[in-house]
Amino acid sequence: ETGVTQTPRHLVMGMTNKKSLKCEQHLGHNAMYWYKQSAKKPLELMFVYSLEERVENNSVPSRFSPECPNSSHLFLHLHTLQPEDSALYLCASSQDLSSRGWTEAFFGQGTRLTVV
């Protein structure tokens, strides 16, 4: 049990579908993140939320839409995705965004997304 739970674990969706990934943390952390892990590429930071406010968006296409209703929950809404968006999407959380808060991130197990 990592304290960070992602659902679903696997998702197959068509390019015209709309789906959402969910992340929940029970660690009392104030910062949450979405990362994308593609084959043969470094982990890519997508979005950062601190105290439910988005603080970073690393040039992610608008077909990915994050939502953070409270400090324990983070969503990634997906619509009109492309096959190249198929990847493992990892959620992480950390105590805060202080200088070392980034480094103490706890990761969820990820959602394996396949776009067909």
Partner 1 sequence: DQQVKQNSPSLSVQEGRISILNCDYTNSMFDYFLWYKKYPAEGPTFLISISSIKDKNEDGRFTVFLNKSAKHLSLHIVPSQPGDSAVYFCAATFSGNTPLVFGKGTRLSVIA
Residues that bind partner 1 in the complex, under the rule CB under 8 A: 2, 4, 9, 33, 40-43, 45, 48, 55-56, 90-92, 97-110
Q: Which of 102, 105, 34, 25 is nearest to 64 (CA)?
A: 34
* Cβ distance to partner 1 smaller for residue 4 or 87: 4
**Shortest spacing between CB 89 and partner 1, in angstroms:** 10
**Shortest spacing between CB 14 and partner 1, in angstroms:** 24
**Shortest spacing between CB 96 and partner 1, in angstroms:** 9
* Cβ distance to partner 1 smaller for residue 16 or 99: 99
Question: 76: Cβ–Cβ under 8 A, 6 or more apart, which residues?
Answer: 20, 21, 23, 34, 46, 47, 64, 65, 66, 67, 89
Length, in residues, of the chain: 116
